[in-house]
Amino acid sequence: MYIEPIRSNKAVLDLPIQMWVFGYGSLIWKVDFPYQQKFAGYIEGYCRRFWQGSTDHRGFPEKPGRVVTLIESPKEIVWGVAYQIANDNVESVLDHLDFREKNGYSKAVVAFHPSDSSVSPFNCLVYMANPQNPEYLGPAPLNEMALQIRESVGPSGANAEYLLQLATAIKTLFPDVRDDHLFKLEEAVKNLNTTD
């Protein structure tokens, strides 16, 4: 797998002729760029975890929020959405996404498997935060993460909104999929809200 820190769109990535971007977090429910078509599906060899700090969208440096990243996990898969970007929009969409994902995320290319079995797998660009980036928070006890998420707010809104929107989107798009980390965090944050 090729990973390149976000520096410039001019970097050569091993992308297909048509550019595709894989969303596994807010890119599932907050798509703010033009795309031609989209497919639901999954990537292999990763799990989705709320282990990346957010000091630019869902928190501040003195009180970071938690957002998702991909962690290598050979036997797991991550469900999400792949968006096809028109050739005329590639540069502007990459500029936009590089800015949106600037807080510790790097670009990588992964194989995407559409839910529609009539469509063959294809390569996608994905943004993921590796553990070496300065905003990486890593694992923590469930209740500690839930409390941090519930209490964090940033320029893009409440961290809890990010979590709840993502959980709702996954349940809606993939009703038979069980994402234990995501759904246990969702339940823990909801329980904190009802015990106050």
Give the span between the Cα atoms of 147 and 54, in whole angstroms: 15
Q: Which two tokens stand for residue 147?
A: 């409390």
C-alpha 19/C-alpha 158 separation (Å) is 31
* Catalytic-labelled residue, pool 4, 44, 91, 101: 101
Contact 66, 57 (CB under 8 A): no
Distance of alpha carbon 80 from alpha carbon 23, whole angstroms: 6
Tell me which residue of 195, 61, 38, 32 sits closest to 124, measured CA to CA: 38
144 catalytic, yes or no? no
Classify strands 37-54 and 65-85 as parallel, antiparallel or unpaired. Answer: antiparallel
Residues with a catalytic annotation lie at: 101
